Amino acid sequence: MNDNELLALLRSDPERGLAQIVADYSAYVHKIACARLSDVCTREDIEEIVSDIFLIFYNTGKENGFEIRSVKAMLSVIAKRRCIDSFRSHSDREHTASYNELENYISDDLTDNAYLLEAISRLGEPDSSIFVRKYYFGQKNIDIAKDLGMNINTLNTRLSRGLKKLRKILEEGQ
């Protein structure tokens, strides 16, 4: 089921739509959460956080009739924000932000990061997604290599070459 179909289902039948979103994207969101939180949270905590992420997605989407440009982008941002918050609360023992606060954290601003992300996107696969894993989601090199069935040395070489290529892309763009 593609994203347009998923969003249409969420509008016509929210219950099935939400269940379908979880079925389609729980592996992805779980991956994002594990990348950031596996050192500080238990497996159970991570699963609860993943379920929070879907709930925030659902509540946020419901407010605007599920007019969402990109399901993956929306889930990614919510997941990042929720993981950052959980990381802080588990590290500093601070109070976790409420759902409403979290929803407000989804920013529509464009910052300098946009140029860098465009440059990463131009690296091409598999380098672009390796960079997104490492620098956008904070996944460890060893875990990226494991996910991709790649030797750690190969991954390090790719990152090193990718950095050079990235510099070049950015310089050319200026």
Which residues lie closer than 8 Å to 21 by C-beta, 6 or more apart? 6, 10, 54, 57, 58, 71
Helix, coil or strand: residue 38: coil
Are the beta carbons of 120 and 169 closer than 8 angstroms?
no
Segment 45 to 64, residues that bind other proteins, using CB under 8 A: 47-48, 50-52, 54-55, 58
**Nearer Cβ to other proteins, position 2 or 153?**
2
Which residues lie closer than 8 Å to 165 by C-beta, 6 or more apart? 123, 127
Min separation Cβ 77 and other proteins, Å: 5
**Nearer Cβ to other proteins, position 47 or 96?**
47
Segment 120 to 159, residues that bind other proteins, using CB under 8 A: 120-121, 125-126, 128-129, 131-133, 135-138, 147-148
Stretch that binds other proteins, among 70-78, 90-98, 150-158 (CB under 8 A): 70-78
